[in-house]
A and B are shown apart, each in its own frame.
Chain A
Amino acid sequence: MSRAVSGREQLVSRAFIGLADTLVDDYDMIELLDRLVGYSAELLAADAAGIVLGDAKGTLRVVASSSEDAELMELLQLQNDEGPCLECYHTATPVSVPDLDDAARRWPGFTAAVRARGAFRSVHALPLRLRQESIGALNLFHSRPGPLPEVDLALGQALADVATIGILQERAIRQGEVVNEQLQTALNSRVVIEQAKGVIAERAGLPMDVAFDRLRRYARSSSQKLSDVARSLVERDLDPDLMLTATRASPPALPRRPGTPTR
């Protein structure tokens, strides 16, 4: 039992150190959120996770997710109509669905969509809090039903709080203008990153999630901001072949989806 505890402690330390790295000068917000979503899924034993931020109109937009699964995107996105994420965002409190079977009356559309996908049985949403309000939510999906244990809830909220601070930065909390500027920037950065994923995916014949992984690895290994690398690729200042060669040495190859060109 002590081994399990220390194993988790290590994970937690790694998570916070990794997050702290992104809070220094010139950090990249999308990278922060991307790491956060990964750590959250890992630490909270979630099968999938996503972060949504509310734009100026209050529409929830996905800014990070643990996988490129289009259906996961849909589950995050459709919560603009109903669902734990939306409620969490509006109330700025955690919203838990320990068993989807119990949620059908509350959110019929959302429950039906999750059921159709067949992979998740419980869903939890934690607010990215700013004083009394929330700027977005961290959404966790589990394949098993069950509540989130207190310890996990606290840890998850702490991770969400780090995300919020990372997004807003301390002085921004005092100046409404900077908050708005930064949120808008984050949303636009995501566009560039999606475009860059397309560039890499096409150039190397890779699926989108692998393309994103290569992008991330190159940014880290060349000590550049993810957003800057993405921009250079889309503006064609950075040759994708160069970037791909630099990141070719990699951990065990991901299995290719059938039908994907192997070029």
Chain B
Amino acid sequence: MTRALLGMTRYDVRDRVLAEQICRACVDGLDVHGAAISLLTGSPSRETLWASDPTAELLEDLQFTLNEGACMQAASTGSPVLVPNLNDSTDAQRWPVFAAAVAEQTDALALFALPLQWGTINLGVLDLYRRTPGGLSGDQWRDAISAADVAALMMLGVRTEPGDGDAHGDGDGWLDPASSARAEVHQATGMVLVQLDVGAEVALARMRAHAFVEQRLLIDVARDVVSRKLRFTDDMA
């Protein structure tokens, strides 16, 4: 499943195309009936990037219209929201209007909202639904979270892509979770965002750009930042 996602080419990808590929891979590889990815950061820019079918689309629309729902909660808390049975009153109580609308207007009975999260950066929410109630099994959960992790890496990767976007492969090691998830990368992000007075995403983009120009791995650039051998300034390459 993860291999299928990583095998996708990264060049010339825009958020929407990437969202489509991720959703399709989820519907094919996970045991769900549909998937959608939405952006929820900031109220004016709420939108569905891609939905696999009308039900998936409607689930997103309902949340935007009603201003509540599993997907919203996942985005605002940064935690997954897993609803194995939408008819279960305990769960439904969290968003009563949304739950009622879903019951009336769709055939979805189980919902799993996974935020695509990188620390404080929310890149969207991956929503999966099923027409039958029931939770995700251990394996399915593993696959779903892997999909969300890889999706978050890829979407953030696209946004912080160094160079001209031409396929140079994973030049800075970004797509290798073992490298990109290292504490030094996060610590360096924090340091660079202060150095440049920018947000975390831009700080990361700048580090990746530097790695690209210098033909180095991101993790090595991060280590140099943390050990104070390297400082970022506005007039750097």
Contact surface of A with B, Cβ cutoff 8 Å: 55-58, 61-62, 73, 176-177, 180-182, 184-185, 188, 191-192, 194-203, 208, 231, 233-236, 240, 259-261
| 0/1 interface trace, chain B 128-151, chain A, CB 8 Å (1 if under) | 000000011000011001100000
Q: Are the CB atoms of B141 and A199 closer together than 8 Å?
A: no
A182 to B78, CA, bound (A): 11
What are 20 A-to-B residue pairs whose CB atoms are below 8 Å? A56-B142, A57-B142, A176-B135, A177-B135, A180-B82, A180-B141, A180-B145, A182-B79, A184-B80, A185-B77, A185-B78, A192-B119, A194-B183, A195-B200, A197-B190, A198-B192, A198-B193, A199-B191, A201-B191, A235-B199
Q: In the complex, which of the residues B80, B84, B193 contacts A199, with contact meaning CB atoms closer than 8 Å?
A: B193
Q: Shortest beta-carbon distance, B149 to chain A, in Å? A: 8
Q: Name the A residues within 8 Å of B200 (CB-CB).
A: 195, 234
Q: Which of B148-203 contact A (CB under 8 A)?
A: 181, 183, 186-195, 199-200
Q: Are B228 and A261 in contact (CB under 8 A)?
A: yes
Most chain A Cβ neighbours within 10 Å, of B136, B141, B192, B195 = B141
Closest to B83 in A: A177
Residues from chain B with Cβ under 8 Å of A236 in the complex:
193, 199
The yes or no answer to B212 lying at the interface (CB within 8 A) is no
Which residues of the partner chain B approach A56 to less than 8 Å between Cβ atoms? Answer: 141-142, 145-146
**Which residue of B80, B146, B183, B186 contacts A181 across the interface (Cβ within 8 Å)?**
B80
Partner of A73, one of B77, B183, B188, B191: B183
The answer for the CA separation of A188 and B119 in the assembled complex, in Å, is: 6
Rounded to whole angstroms, the CA-CA distance of A181 and B193 in the bound complex is 29
Partner of B194, one of A58, A180, A203: A203
Q: Which of A62, A184, A195, A260 contacts B186 (CB 8 A)?
A: A195
A181-B82 contact, Cβ under 8 Å, with A57-B146, A195-B120, A231-B120? yes
- Give the Cβ gap from B65 to chain A, nearest Cβ, in Å: 25
Instruction: Flag if B187 contacts A195 (CB, 8 Å).
Output: yes
Contact A202 B82 (CB under 8 A): no
The number of chain B residues touching the other chain, given as a range, is 20 to 34
Contact of A208 among B82, B118, B187 (CB under 8 A): B187
- Tell whether B48 is near chain A: CB-to-CB under 8 Å: no
Contact across chains for B84 and A234 when beta carbons are under 8 A apart: no
Q: Give me 12 other A-B pairs in contact (C-beta within 8 A), A194-B119, A195-B186 excluded.
A: A56-B145, A57-B142, A177-B84, A177-B135, A181-B80, A185-B77, A188-B79, A196-B190, A198-B191, A201-B190, A202-B195, A259-B228
Given contacts A56-B146, A231-B120, contact A198 B80 (CB under 8 A): no
Within the assembled complex, what's the spacing in Å between the Cα atoms of A200 and B190?
8
Asked if B120 contacts A202 (CB within 8 A), the reply is: no
With a cutoff of 8 Å between Cβ atoms, the chain A residues found around residue B77 in the complex are 185
Task: Assess whether B193 is in contact with A197, with CB atoms less than 8 Å apart.
Answer: no
Nearest residue, chain B, Cβ from A177: B82
Chain B hits for A58, CB < 8 A: 142
Q: Could you tell me if A199 and B186 are in contact, using CB atoms closer than 8 angstroms?
A: no
The answer to whether A191 touches B119 (Cβ under 8 A) is yes
Q: Please tell me which one of the listed residues B79, B83, B119, B194 contacts residue A240 in the complex, with CB atoms under 8 A apart.
A: B194
Rounded to whole angstroms, the CA-CA distance of A42 and B145 in the bound complex is 36
Name A192's closest neighbour in chain B (CB-CB).
B119
Which residues of B sit under 8 angstroms from A194, Cβ to Cβ? 119, 183, 186-187, 190
- A181 adjacent to B190 (CB under 8 Å): no
Pair B78/A198 contact, Cβ less than 8 Å: no
B55 within 8 A of A: no
- In the assembly, what is the distance between CA of A82 and CA of B181, in Å? 20
The complex places the Cα of A182 from the Cα of B181 at a distance, in Å, of: 19
B219 located at the interface, meaning its Cβ lies under 8 Å from any Cβ of chain A in the complex: no
B115 → A minimal CB distance (Å): 8
With a cutoff of 8 Å between Cβ atoms, the chain A residues found around residue B226 in the complex are 198, 201, 208
At the interface, yes or no: B123 with Cβ under 8 Å from chain A? no
Other-chain contact of A180, B80, B119, B189, B193 (Cβ < 8 Å): B80
CA of A259 to CA of B227, assembled, Å: 10
